[in-house]
Amino acid sequence: MKIISYNVNGIRAALKKGFADWLSENDFDIVCIQETKAQPEQVDISEIEALGYKAYWFSAQKKGYSGVAVFTKIDPINIIQGQNNEKSDFEGRTLQLEFKDFTLINTYFPSGSSGEIRQAFKYEFLDNYFDFIKSKQDKNIIVVGDYNICHEAIDIHNPKGLKNASGFLPEEREWVTQFIDSGFIDSFRYFNDGPDQYTWWTYRFGARGKNLGWRIDYHMVSKTLEDRLKRAVILSEAVHSDHCPLMVEID
């Protein structure tokens, strides 16, 4: 089973850049996208549905902002929108699909880069999210998405110069450490320990061409699923967004 996580930075823009064609050229089972920036009725996904995917959405109430969706060839047994938290659910940040032997949670974590108000919201979100996930840890869980945090120095191109940047602050990085220690595996690092492997690049300064990036997207997998992990890769050749997709494969 191949599971994709991809911040598409607007599903309509990604479709215009060949997103559906890219899906048709691959054999992914579940595709989790973040930052859809759309309501379902605003998007023609007939090409995606023709590939055998069913679509599930949780959009922000503010149009053109945030939002998550999952396209899956495997039928879930239950779908839950949101975290039962008014502030984060208003922004359409979390979508859960329960399958027979695991639960998939697709999340678009807030960015704090626009200033102190959003950074404070990000910290509040992280605190609430930790409790939200902890309440579900009697199940096999895969928590995918754009976390908007680089965990270690190896995950960012300039750790010294960016040490005070939102997304690489000590408190954020410690939250990821605690999250992993609570019973998860960072699936990409489980298989890959090399540097210069990123999932996001600013559109400025020719950053992607120079590989001046950040690894802020993850598949966090319950330790109970460790023996089912087959591989995890970053698919940096896909260029429908300022992010690129990543894949985890599980038996």
Residue with tokens 């992010």: 243
Given this model, what pLDDT does residue 49 score? 98
DSSP string covering 68-116: EEEEESS--SEEEES-S-HHHHHTT-EEEEE-SS-EEEEEEPPP-TT-H
pTM of structure: 0.97
Given this model, what pLDDT does residue 238 score? 98
What percent of the chain stands above pLDDT 90?
98
The architecture CATH gives domain 2-250: 4-Layer Sandwich (3.60)
Cα 208 to Cα 22, 144, 186, 188, distances in angstroms? 19, 23, 23, 20
Phi first, then psi: what are they for 136, rounded to 5°?
-110, 5
Given this model, what pLDDT does residue 137 score? 80
Q: Write out pLDDT tens, residues 105-148.
A: 999 999 999 999 999 999 999 999 999 999 998 889 999 999 99
Contact criterion met (CB below 8 Å) for 214 and 156: yes
Q: Write out pLDDT tens, residues 8-51.
A: 999 999 999 999 999 999 999 999 999 999 999 999 999 999 99
**Biggest alpha carbon distance in the chain?**
47
Q: Write out pLDDT tens, residues 176-218.
A: 999 999 999 999 999 999 999 999 999 999 999 999 999 999 9
Mean pLDDT of 53-72: 97
* Residue extents of the structural domains in the chain: 2-250
- Please say whether the dihedral angle defined by the alpha carbons of residues 118, 107, 68 and 82, taken in this order, is positive or negative: negative
Given this model, what pLDDT does residue 177 score? 98
Residues known to be catalytic: 146
Mean pLDDT of 98-107: 97
- Fill in the DSSP letter of residue 226: G
57/70 Cα distance (integer angstroms): 7
Mean pLDDT of 69-82: 98
Number of H helices, E strands in the chain: 8, 12
Contact criterion met (CB below 8 Å) for 56 and 73: no
12/28 Cα distance (integer angstroms): 20
Given this model, what pLDDT does residue 130 score? 97
Q: Which string of b and e fits 69-93 if b means at least 16 CB within 10 Å?
A: bbbbeeebeeeeebbebeebbebbb
Residue with tokens 């450490």: 177
Q: Average per-residue pLDDT in the chain? A: 97
Cα 230 to Cα 100, 235, 250, 251, distances in angstroms? 19, 16, 5, 7
